[in-house]
Structure 1
Amino acid sequence: MSELESLEPARAVRMYLEARQDELADWTLKSHKYRLRAFVEWCEESGVDDLTELDGRDLYEFRVWRREGNFGVEDGETPEEIAPVTLKSQLTTLRAFLRFAANIHAVPEDFYERVPLPKLSGTDDVSDSTLEPDRATDILEYLHRYHYASRRHVEFALLWETGARMGAIRGLDLRDLDLDGRTPVVRYKHRPDQGTPIKNGEKGERFNSVSDRVGTMLQAYIDGPRVDKTDEFGRKPLLTTSHGRVSASTIRQDVYVVTRPCWLNQGCPHNRDIETCEAVELNHVSTCPSSRSPHDVRKGVVTLYRREEVPRRVVSDRLDASDLVLDKHYDRRGERERAEQRRNHLPW
């Protein structure tokens, strides 16, 4: 075994993030950065200033410290235990970091194995009716690789990148997309007399930009799998079936389908037999505890924007919702996480 080389935790984390920058999606990388901040904070509190000093007992103490919700706690506040699924995500990222640290001779080669992952019960991994950003990233990557430019890919990508409501996405026509300009853009327009209203009427009309990657995928869908249909008003819908414009129930079902872990070949976190589980059947996909609705996807987008400290006005305008509504119905950050982000803006 190679001799270990001294390395500060904070510097090791920076090296890890730099090393994985080209292989992880942006949001995944940011999630890793957030989780590893907790590890660096624990190291600082515990007096660990060199990774070579870590042992199995330290990893156990960090696990307990993180589980009890000590990350980002303000003076005088009482820590609140985090959800098992959050702890598992935290420890999974730590294991990946320690594997990297072993490659640069900062910890023993098999040291990451000393971080056991918690086993989740059937409901532990079900968040408060929202879609966690990490799951959304996994779904988008799976769609990009195995179902590229399919209708389901288009639906989920637009839900996630624009945060729009399902009805607004259903109402898109081909003319509402500008994919040839410098920045790909979709336009959400209120057309109540033709069966595609949007929630806040004309006030909710807006242009939303999408990434170049999604813009390219949208064009591939239009040029390829899209069924060339017009609706009863002579409009050319973006999302179509052999019968015309896609129905709301079909979009909802498509989202239930792609948010099931088994559909992503990730097994079943609910200890169900996939061969006999009723949620595998198309008409019962919503019965999977992990499946999520389009509305849950929208809530996940809001939580992600707030977590990444996107300005409130940008979030409000992009998602066509007031700050009050966003705070009350959509933002699923915990109070501890909100406190930590507020602290980051203070001058000390």
Structure 2
Amino acid sequence: MTCFEQVEGTSDSFESLDSAAESYLSELSSSAPDSTFWSHQTVITKLREWIPEPSSSEAWLESHQLCRFVEYLAENTAQDITTICGHMNSLINFQSFIHQEDPNILKAILLSEIKSSDVIDYSEIDEHILGISTGADIQSLSDRISSLVTYLRERQFGTRVHVYVELILDTCSQAGCVRNLELENANSDNGTIVISIPETHLVSKAGLVTQRVANISPETSEALEEFIAYERKKPTEISDNPLLTTSHGRASESTLRREVKQASERAEEYPGVASPHTRHQTSCVVPSEIWQYSILQFLEGQ
């Protein structure tokens, strides 16, 4: 899953974790509601009290450290799991600020650490943190989405729906973020694409982490080049420059959703593509399931 490569690492933006915390809280104090600021300050203060004097190699907040800290909270406080999940979301935003990474990706990495925890019941927190249940039938999702992708590559290569599906899978981005891509966000030459961070995350709403650069596969780069050269419609009634267009402007959420469902219906009957498990199913793939699958596939591989 290319979007997860080299997510974490030492940042040279701050001298220490303390300086990162001070900078982060200073930014929040002027951009977030008081209640939000105080809740973040409380849990970050607890984190700093818990982490010993860091060596240079331990000065940056990594997911294994967050996992141990969350275990500490679970064992040494009387807080319920909902409160602890709230603390986790606060800490993920702080970690996102340090690493300039998508909070959803950092959430998935943290959950992969927590999967092996003897202290925290993973099944109690996954949906609270990611907004999806990791108890979903990944084999069923894999069968249906693999059939869809194979069909698109063989029969609809370089079309709008093909690029849309491949970009969700490659970048592990929610469907809305892919829909909102601008043409200039895509760089098929070096296999990257600039993805926006949803404002549902505090760091994005506060203007602290608003985008990230994600890797895409050579196959997706090729499909993207094909789409831009031959399939993309130049909009006539819009001032910006969206990647996924209709003749009038940016493709709507309902249009893209309908195209994915229609393609998945065709994939179910396409000779040589559909598996015995997917053929004649009535459950079509929708964009949110593609994103869910990309996250589950990552978690499954940890």
TM category (shorter chain) comes to 0.3 to 0.5
Larger Rg: 1
**Higher normalized helix content (fraction of residues):** 2
Pick 1 or 2: higher relative contact order, CA cutoff 8 A, min separation 6.
2
TM-score, normalised to structure 2, is 0.47
